[in-house]
Structures are given as C-alpha cells and as structure tokens.
Amino acid sequence: MPTPMAMPMDAEPMGAGARTARARARGRRLRTVRAYALGVAGLLLAGCASMPDHGEIRSVQASQGVDSQVRVFGVPPADKASAGEIVDGFLEAMTSDDPQLETARKYLTEEAAKSWKPGSAVTVLSGGLDRSPVRGEKDPEGPRWRVTGKKLATVDERSAYQPETGGPAYEEFLQLVQEDKQWRIASPPKSLVLSESDFQRIYMPVNKYYFAGGTLVADPVYVRQRSDPDSRMDPTTQTVQSLLAGPSRWLSPVVESSFPTGTELRPGTKSLSYDGQNTLRVPLNDKADNVAQPQCRKMATQLLYTVKDLTGSRLDQVELLRSDGKSSSLCSVTEVSAAAIANRPKIPEYQYFVDNEKRLVRMKLDISSEDQQYRPDPVPGPLATPPGFKVSSAAVTYDERRAAVVSEDGHGLYVVSMTGSGPMPQPVFPGKGNKPNTLTAPSWDAAGDLWFGDQDPQHLGLWRVPGGTGPPEKVQVAGLDGGRIISLKASSDGVRIALLVQQDGARKKLFVGRIERPDGKGDASAVSVRELRPAAPQMADVTAMSWAPRGRLLVVGRESGGIVQARYMLADGSIVAAGLPGATGLIAVAAAASEDESKPKPVVAYSDDDGIVWLPPGAQWRTVMAGGQAPVYPG
C-alpha cells in the first residue's frame, strides 16, 4: 500500500476502525501511482466499482486503459469481507506491481500463499474475467467460485508468447475456506491471469538472440517492465537471465546458444547497469569460466544484441566477468566487433520493383532529399537485354548479384545474373498447369536458397531451389492442411518463413513456420517447415506482409469490422507498435531486413491509387512512380 502521504486529500484512511460501511461495500479498489521520469512525487489515482457479495455473474475489467507508466497496487482484504469481495480483490491484486505479489497473497490461505508460484506463466485474456458462485454444491469447506474468460495468448515459463487461435475458453475454480473467521482462497490459479490491457501495462516485448549456423536470430519474449515480483530483477537483468536459460521451445530446434549448459548470472545479481564508458559488465557463474575466446566472444555478442534494444542509452561494449567476484574479465566485444560475428544482412544498395513495362528495375532512395527525382533503371544482365523479359514478380539475393523472376504469365521461375550478360537462362521451375499466375513471388534466404509457392492443383504447396541452382524440391509443411499459399517470405536468418494462406476461398491468414534443415550429410530433401503458428491473429484478413528488422513482420490487413492498415508485429503474433500512417490502400509492402538503424531504409509499397510509394522515417508517403507493382528489397 502507498503511504498515507501519497494518498489524495479525499482518500479515506485504511484502518479497519475508520473504514466506513460504504468503503467496505466497495470490496474492490485499486491504487495507481504514475511514475514520473525524475522519480519525484507520484500522483495517486483511485478507482472503485461497487459489487454484490452474492448471486449474479459479474465481469471484472481490471485496470483497463491504464498506460504503461502507471503503477497499480492492490488493496488488502477488508475485515469480514464476503466471499465475492475476496474473489474480486484477489483478481484485481494479481495485476498489481507489489513485490512478491504480497497483496494478492493476503487473499489466500496461509498454506496457499506460501506455495503459490504464478510468475512462471501468464494467461492473457481478450477481455475481463467473469466470476460467479458455483450453485447447487454444498462443499463442507466453503463456496467455490467459477472464473471464466476468453484466452488471447499464454506466456510460458521461458517468457515466450503463444497466441491462442479461436479464442478458447478459460475456466478456473477458486475454492474458498474460512481461516481465522475470514474467507480466504485455498486454490489460486496456477498462472497469473491478466486482461490484454493489464498485460500490455505490465510486460514489454524484447528480443533474445541465438545463433543458427553463423547467423544471429531474434527470439521474441516478454519481460516485466519493472522489477519482477518474484526475482526482484530489473528488466535488463530479467532479459539476460532469460537469454541464459535458453531459446524458446518453438525456436530451440533450429538455434543454439553459445553459453555452456548451466550458465547463469553470478548468485545475488539483481541489477545490471552501464558504466561511464557505455560498457555493460555481466558477472557469470563458474560454468563459463573456462570457455575459449572465440566462444566467449559469441556469448558476448548474444548479450550485446539482446540488451542494446532495452534502453535509449548507448551501448558500446559488453564485458563478461568471471565467477570469482573479482574484476577479471572473460572477454569483451564492441558494437563493431559484434557486428562481424553476428553475420547480419548488409544494408541494401537498391530497392527493386516491376515497372509499367513489366521490367525489373532498381533505384536508390535518398531519405535525406525532399525533392529527389526518382529514375529507376532496368537491372543489368539478361533481364535488360532488348526486347527485355517481361516480369510479374521478383526477388533479389542479399548480395544483389542474382534475381529470381516469375514470368508475366505467372508460370515460369528463372534465376538470372545481374552481373554479367548473355541470353535468358532456362527456367529452374517451368509451370506445368493450364491456369495462369500459379506461382507466387519468390523469396531468398540468407543461405542462398530460393523459396516459392505453386497454386496449381497438380503441384500445390511450398517449393525450394537449393542454392538457386539445384532441382526444385517440394517442402513438407506440417499443418498446411491443403491451404493455398498466396504469398511467402523467408526471413533473413533462414530459420523462419512467413506464409499467407487461403483455405477454400476463405479470408487469407498469415502464419510463421520454422524451417528445419537436416544435420550433417542428410538428405537435402528432408528440409521441412514445422509448427505453423498464427502471425497476425488479431486481423480478420491479411493482404500483404514483409519481414522487417529485429525479427518483426510488417503486416497489411484489417481487423474484424475495421479498415485496412499496416502494423508491425513480432513473429510470435503479438502487436509491437501502432500502424503506419495512411496505409489504407496498400496492396503490397516491402521493408529492408538490415539491422543498421543508423542508416534506415524507407518502407516501399504498392498502392492501387498511387502506384509505387515509399515512406521515409518520420515523414509522409511519397509517390515514386504511377503504376508499377511488386516492390521488394533483397531477400
């Protein structure tokens, strides 16, 4: 509870003798403290809602609309509170920022308060909780209350977010008993149960980073925005602890950590901070004391990329410390040296699209120029040879030396050099169906493999061309269930693929699958896509998508009853940021996958009304060319 000095002038004292009958009837109240940047006096807000202690179903909407800078503190149970008031007070107290969830535990029996460990998982509901007494039962211990809601997502013990498709029902029963003549809950929920608004207030998305081969891969998770009630760790330390614990279950089959098994923070570490040289020093336990320098630098690289997005402060270096408690260093990496180890996509030199003459063209977009005249040029090589090959869609390798193009009729897929000359090569995949436009736009991954989808009933599914030169191989996609792949995009790290899928003429849904490759010298055809999960569950229909920096997706679509918009989402299906301005007419979209935000590239899109358009950071949409189609960045 806040101290009396922090209370507003009209707040009632919380002592039992001074508490009025009216206050006792309220049952459920919350205290919120808005945290100011300078850490000076907070403003205490109080909200109340009357509630009965019997009978009907009630909806509990906890802290709705509260922004992320508001701190919420539950109110302890009142003396002689009814069973309904105990249930409501406990559900509200679960949303609090109390250390160790102390207030919530006061609603539990003594035994339940000691054993309750809700911090390992979170259940996120799309709305509030409904609670009602279970009628028709005569439990000798006391009443049972049924708590229900609609699941939006769960956050597991590794902090990974998992959307729940179809909004399955949540149901829990709370058993109340008399303890010292007071009603208390003997069977609390196994996890924290939060409304979507409370979850967004309490938790924030962060990326952990692991290696797939020599490439760094983002693994999105959620940590508490303030000190964790159980561990008392600050957000940076929570994130580092989560990194050391290993990748999320979904990503773990295709990535690995450089940290030795059992590596943890040095015992007693609750906070990590930067020094005056913008260096983060991380003390580890003895499991890491004997690692070789190359491995140690990979460990430090994982840490640097994991931590650098957590704060606006500049991070120049990460140093790993030995377990002996002294200042002896295991190793360190700077931002420059870590970039070389991370092997991330380089900043693209050009942006590409198909012009009005069905040519693949490229151009440089200068975000510093307001009056730039855009002059796209045909890409060099066979595609520029008169009379020119007519293209419907294309993809360009990350080194910008090769292009994969689909012919104008949507049947043939060609891989063409952009550094030499000569005639057009033979197609690597000649379409065999009778229907036009059966092939999707292709996509390259960082390993140099080419991906595309075929909508022809005879060859329906996902295909891969190893290295862009080998024979095409059909890829097994677990969970596709006969759906047509409308479009696709492989991630730059090569371990994920986004698939826009349509089932039997229904609305298009976006999924992300995990790309599993064989180990060692196994059969190359064993490459498969596993565990499809919804990437935009909030959207009723998805129009277009592109991978964006830091493992995000830029998704164009609309929510049920809403308008078309473009929003950034994490690959786990959770929304990250607000939509792009003025994006209602977009048909296709492209974002650069490069991670260097000091040299940002604009979002480029195709609009039915304006043709090829682009959005510089912090500016408005500008028209590049009336007409045109299929904008892409390398990848």
pLDDT in tens, 70-128: 667 779 999 999 999 999 999 999 988 777 789 999 999 999 999 998 877 899 998 87
Which of 16-30, 154-168, 302-316, 321-335 has the weakest average pLDDT? 16-30
Judge whether 361 and 352 are in contact, CB under 8 Å: yes
pLDDT in tens, 191-245: 899 998 899 888 999 999 999 988 999 999 999 887 776 677 888 999 999 999 9
Give this prediction's pTM. Answer: 0.83
Place 440 in a pLDDT band, splitting at 50, 70 and 90: very high
Sequence-ordered list of residues with C-beta below 8 angstroms from that of 212, at least 6 positions apart, any chain? 254, 255, 256, 493, 494, 495
Q: What kind and span of H or E run contains 225?
A: none
pLDDT at 65: 38
Sequence-ordered list of residues with C-beta below 8 angstroms from that of 178, at least 6 positions apart, any chain? 142, 184
pLDDT at 561: 78
Residue 533 vs residue 62, higher pLDDT: 533
Would you say residue 2 has pLDDT above 60?
Answer: no
pLDDT at 70: 62
Would you say residue 165 has pLDDT above 80?
Answer: no
Is residue 453 classed as helix, strand or coil in its secondary structure? strand
DSSP string, 545-608: EEEETTTEEEEEEE-TTS-EEEEEEETTS-B-SPPPTT-TTEEEEE------TTS---EEEEET
* Rounded Cα distance, 350 and 626, in Å: 19
* Rounded Cα distance, 488 and 500, in Å: 6
pLDDT at 45: 27
pLDDT at 191: 87
Is residue 215 classed as helix, strand or coil in its secondary structure? strand
- What is the phi/psi pair of residue 554, to 5°? -100, 115
pLDDT in tens, 251-261: 999 999 999 99
Judge whether 586 and 544 are in contact, CB under 8 Å: yes
Q: In 3D, which of 371, 363, 345, 160 has the Cα closest to residue 246?
A: 160
Sequence-ordered list of residues with C-beta below 8 angstroms from that of 28, at least 6 positions apart, any chain? 48, 49, 51, 60, 75, 85, 88, 89, 92
Our CA dihedral for 532, 536, 542, 547, rounded to 10 degrees, sits at -80
Query: To which residue do tokens 């492209």 refer?
Result: 590
Query: To which residue do tokens 């012919």 refer?
Result: 407
Judge whether 243 and 284 are in contact, CB under 8 Å: no
pLDDT in tens, 550-579: 889 999 998 877 888 889 988 898 876 667
Q: In the numeric block, which tokens belong to residue 479?
A: 């969970």
Residue 499 vs residue 120, higher pLDDT: 499
DSSP-derived secondary structure letter, 6:
G
**pLDDT average, residue stretch 32-42:** 32
pLDDT at 262: 96
Place 608 in a pLDDT band, splitting at 50, 70 and 90: confident
Q: Within 13 Å, how many C-alpha atoms sit on residue 370's CB side?
A: 2
**Amino acid (one-letter) located at 311:** T
DSSP string, 169-203: EEEEEEEEEEETTEEEESS--SSEEEEHHHHHHHE
Is residue 532 classed as helix, strand or coil in its secondary structure? strand
DSSP-derived secondary structure letter, 426:
P
Place 540 in a pLDDT band, splitting at 50, 70 and 90: confident
Would you say residue 482 has pLDDT above 90?
Answer: no
Average pLDDT value for the chain: 82
pLDDT at 43: 26
Residues of the chain above pLDDT 70, percent = 82
Is residue 303 classed as helix, strand or coil in its secondary structure? helix
Which of 404-418, 553-567, 586-600 has the weakest average pLDDT? 586-600
Q: Identify whether 387 is preceded by a cis peptide bond (ω within 30 of 0).
A: yes
* Rounded Cα distance, 296 and 289, in Å: 10
* Rounded Cα distance, 500 and 546, in Å: 11
Would you say residue 142 has pLDDT above 90?
Answer: no
**CB atoms < 10 A from the CB of 356, how many?**
13
Q: What is the 3-state secondary structure (H, E, C) of 133-162?
A: ECCCCCCCCCCEEEEEEEEEEEECCCCCEE
List beta partners, residue 96: none
Judge whether 195 and 63 are in contact, CB under 8 Å: yes
- What is the phi/psi pair of residue 605, to 5°? -145, 170
* Rounded Cα distance, 11 and 385, in Å: 80
Domains, the chain, with CATH or none: 4-202 (no CATH), 208-342 (no CATH), 351-632 (2.120.10.30)
pLDDT at 462: 95
Q: In 3D, which of 339, 295, 349 has the Cα closest to residue 315?
A: 339
Would you say residue 174 has pLDDT above 90?
Answer: yes
List beta partners, residue 614: 604, 622
Residue 6 vs residue 473, higher pLDDT: 473
Q: What kind and span of H or E run contains 617?
A: none
Q: In the numeric block, which tokens belong to residue 90?
A: 């406990």
Residues of the chain above pLDDT 90, percent = 49
Judge whether 254 and 271 are in contact, CB under 8 Å: no
